[in-house]
Amino acid sequence: MLGRLAASGTLRTSSSSFSALLRGLRPRGRGISDVASAEEFQRLTAAGGPPTLAFYTAPWCGPCQEVAPHIDDISGRLEGRHLRILRIDVDAMHNLAREQGIKAVPQFEVHREGHVVERLAGCGPEAVAEAAARHAADYAEMLKKKEER
């Protein structure tokens, strides 16, 4: 159940330094955005914004319903300036799901600068939370470096 497909490498920070990075990422989230069109998806995953965690789900999917409260929790802790979370119903958005190569649900993708940089399928909520936190922390660090210049 904890299989993972990842385009990025492994996490190279210790848990204490990782936790320290996350302390600055605690603004309350705006909530998960339910994607209603392919155009909206393209706009929300385009270059220029924060990393985006896309959650592909379906109302009939038991594992999707089990992981959904964990995604809500991730949203409450991390979503905001450093991370955006989208929910895509594969039944309502079947063309988009097909274009993105989604073959099973639940599935997650992290988009950055208009590209998929990480995919997670068949994994537990801990792996999704770790990926979301890592990408949010990386983006926060990038913004901090830009501000220091």
Residues serving a catalytic function are 61, 64
Nearest Cα neighbor of 36 from 89, 84, 97 is: 89
What's the chain's length in residues?
A: 149
Distance CA 7, CA 48 (A): 20
Sign of CA dihedral 128, 81, 139, 39: positive
